[in-house]
Amino acid sequence: MPAFTEAFIESRDFKTELSASAASAFVAEGFDASVGRVNASDRPDLADFQCNGALAVAKAAKANPREVAAKIASHFDGDTRLDKLEIAGPGFLNFTLSHGALSDRANALASDPRIGAPKVAQRRKVMIDFGGPNVAKEMHIGHLRTAVIGESLKRTLRFLGDEVIGDAHFGDWGLQMGQLIVGLSEEQPDLPYFDAGFTGPYPAESPVTLADLGRIYPKSSARIKAKDADFLAAARKATKELQDGRPGYRALWQHFVVVSREALKRDYAALGVEFDLWYGESDADPYVEPMIADLKAKGLLVEDNGAQVVHVARPGETRKKKLDDGSVVEVPSPPPLLAVSSEGSAMYGTTDVATIVQRQKEFGPDLSLYIVDQRQAEHFEQVFRTAYLAGYAQEGQLEHAANGTVNGPDGTPFKTRDGGTLKLGDLISQAVEKANARLHEAGLGEGLSEDAFADTAHKVAVAALKFAELSNHRLTNYIFDLDRFMSFEGKTGPYLLYQAVRMKSILRKAGEQGLAAGLIAVAEPAERELVLLLDGFDNALKETYLKRAPNILADHVYRLAQGFSKFYAACPVLVGEDAALKASRLGLVSLTLRQLELGLDLMGLSAPDQM
């Protein structure tokens, strides 16, 4: 099975249908089918769709582009989908759909359980690595992006038909574990975990809390940064002994893992983020030693100042590096992967390569996506190239879907007022508090019970945080502004929830009046615009899938909410004597709500029933 495919089972959206018809027309006139691509019009006031293919082929054919366009247009004579097809300017084809075609499309969407969503033609197994939390560290605002983007991609790929496995890839191995062990041993040297002669059993209760770990880790890291050689040597020794299976260290390490994981699960759950696997770096450890032996047997592992590395740069690939003395030299790019340290410990990159081996043997994914900060790009280039060189994966099976940073007003990664990193749990609490205040300010939720109001405030808070992430392209660095994110106006999560609640309120009132949704008959401009937006769901999901870009889905959902608001202002739904008209418009409200809520769900958001 290929690692990557663009093949979908098409739904009948207008862009696809018109492109296919235009392609056939161009072929019939002796031109290439590819120029028949039809897109949404740049001037929706003039047409719904446009095709610029006549201009592209006329020059090569030394023909008049308007004459070419006229020949193509003749193939659409009698096409009931179109109200008109005009040739504009030097040869643009402008398509305006008929009311009947739009009505048919709306009713087809309403009867479709997938509401116009496509499916992949070939199901793949996809592994998404989008956690990356670490033992002893509470998650911070920087973890928000990977969690939110990864969750949305997981849901979208799964909904479109792939088998998707989400892995937290818990950071529970490596030098930081040695740092914690040595740091704790200095504070509580009498604990049985540090007695090499102790035969157990070890205590079932952890000797440390997450707060203890959060205090010990920064202190030990600071000592390493200060070049405390004795402490670094002790930490490396402890790391090696842990990895070699020293019982006391393994028992203590297990406490570190359990204490940390429970806190992480709490914060992820508050965001509506779920993992299928809570594997850690340690789970790949059994694969490290045989993998190192395999790399050596394949001639890929070489000695370098006592360490062992894999050279991954291709011949001639170099970059300039400035040395301490100010001189500039050419060095390989990317630099070698450090596989084994001079002390004999497996390194961070080694564990990542071993994780690829583990995943291939245990799950056999066709594609592995890493939703990780773009500042790790060089690291993943080293890891992926090592895996390809060793034959652990095929080219294209490993992909770093990088993301940018969450920045403060100064444009640098967000910090608290005291210069620290904002903890994710504190961020969520702040967002919920702000949502409570905004709901009260707007006079929303006043008739709800205390529990229902709390649930609504939480949904608003999560929508504000997550949509702020998802509305930006994942590579974009953006400014964190909770006040702006929490607004019920503009391109925000709370605005989307508010529009969904309005739709639910309309349908609820209709039910109370004994009214029901019926066949949709499009007539008004705002109805046309809304159906065209609904029709665009297919393409938005395809582009989200292919580009690993949830912002495309987020943009569709926002424009859909805007389109509904415009429709509701222009087209009364529950007033008037025309029963068929009310049923039609209720059908359009119901359809819009279904697609909006599906889009929200694929982004990991949920709208309350009332607000």
Domains held by the chain: number: 4
The per-residue pLDDT for 2 is: 41
Interval 585-601: pLDDT, tens: 999 999 999 999 999 99
Interval 494-534: pLDDT, tens: 999 999 999 999 999 999 999 999 999 999 999 999 999 99
Q: Is the same domain home to 224 and 251?
A: yes
Closest among 499, 492, 503 to 461, alpha carbons compared: 492
Mean pLDDT of the chain: 93
> Is it the case that residue 382 has pLDDT exceeding 90?
yes
* Residue 2 within any structural domain of the chain: no
The per-residue pLDDT for 132 is: 84
Mapped onto helix, strand or coil, the DSSP state of residue 248 is helix
Q: Which two tokens stand for residue 600?
A: 């929200």
Beta strands 307-310; 301-304: pairing state: antiparallel
Q: What is the mean pLDDT of residues 468-475?
A: 94
Q: Which two tokens stand for residue 297?
A: 């047997």
> Is it the case that residue 363 has pLDDT exceeding 90?
yes
* Residue 115 within any structural domain of the chain: no
Please, where are the H alpha helices in 330-423? 348-362, 377-390
Distance CA 274, CA 401 (A): 19
Q: Is the same domain home to 460 and 557?
A: yes
In the block, tokens 């299976």 appear at 245
The per-residue pLDDT for 1 is: 38
Mapped onto helix, strand or coil, the DSSP state of residue 505 is helix
CATH of the domain at 78: 3.30.1360.70
Q: Reply yes or no: is the peptide bond before residue 608 cis, omega within 30 of 0.
A: no
Distance CA 431, CA 409 (A): 18
Interval 238-258: pLDDT, tens: 998 998 899 999 999 999 999
Q: Is the same domain home to 308 and 387?
A: yes
Q: Which two tokens stand for residue 161?
A: 């038909």
**Full DSSP string of 63-122:** --HHHHHHHHHHTTTT-TTEEEEEEETTTEEEEEE-HHHHHHHHHHHHT-TTTT--EESS
The per-residue pLDDT for 4 is: 47
Distance CA 215, CA 197 (A): 28
Q: Is the same domain home to 541 and 442?
A: yes
Q: Is the same domain home to 85 and 213?
A: no
Q: Is the same domain home to 158 and 182?
A: no
Q: What is the mean pLDDT of residues 270-291?
A: 94
The per-residue pLDDT for 6 is: 63
Q: Return the percentage of the chain with pLDDT > 90, whole number.
A: 79
* Residue 449 within any structural domain of the chain: yes
Range of the domain at 501: 424-602
Contacts of 96 (CB under 8 A, 6+ apart): 47, 48, 82, 83, 84, 85, 86
Q: Which two tokens stand for residue 390?
A: 């060793």
In the block, tokens 């159906």 appear at 531
The angle at the Cα of 215, spanning 213 to 218, to the nearest 5 degrees, equals 100
* Residue 340 within any structural domain of the chain: yes
Q: Is the same domain home to 183 and 302?
A: no
* Residue 583 within any structural domain of the chain: yes
Residue 257 CA to its chain's centroid (Å): 26
The per-residue pLDDT for 5 is: 52
> Is it the case that residue 219 has pLDDT exceeding 70?
yes
Q: Is the same domain home to 180 and 166?
A: no
Interval 24-75: pLDDT, tens: 999 999 999 999 999 999 999 999 999 999 998 988 888 899 999 999 999 9
* Residue 382 within any structural domain of the chain: yes
Q: Is the same domain home to 155 and 242?
A: no
Q: Is the same domain home to 390 and 441?
A: no
For residue 468, list its beta bridge partners.
Answer: none
* Residue 515 within any structural domain of the chain: yes
pTM of the full predicted structure? 0.92
CATH of the domain at 307: 3.40.50.620
Closest among 605, 571, 607, 575 to 588, alpha carbons compared: 571
Q: Is the same domain home to 166 and 181?
A: no
The per-residue pLDDT for 466 is: 97
* Residue 610 within any structural domain of the chain: no
In the block, tokens 């084994």 appear at 340
Q: Reply yes or no: is the peptide bond before residue 201 cis, omega within 30 of 0.
A: yes
Residue pair 216/256 in contact (Cβ under 8 Å)? The answer is: no
Q: Is the same domain home to 511 and 584?
A: yes
Around 174, how many Cα atoms within 13 Å sit in the side-chain half-sphere?
A: 17
Listed residues 270, 295, 322: the one ending a domain: 270
**Which whole-number Å values give the CA distances from 44 to 41, 85, 568, in the listed order?**
5, 14, 20
Distance CA 481, CA 409 (A): 8
Around 567, how many Cα atoms within 13 Å sit in the side-chain half-sphere?
A: 29
CATH of the domain at 440: 1.10.730.10
Q: Is the CA virtual torsion 182, 188, 190, 192 positive or negative?
A: negative
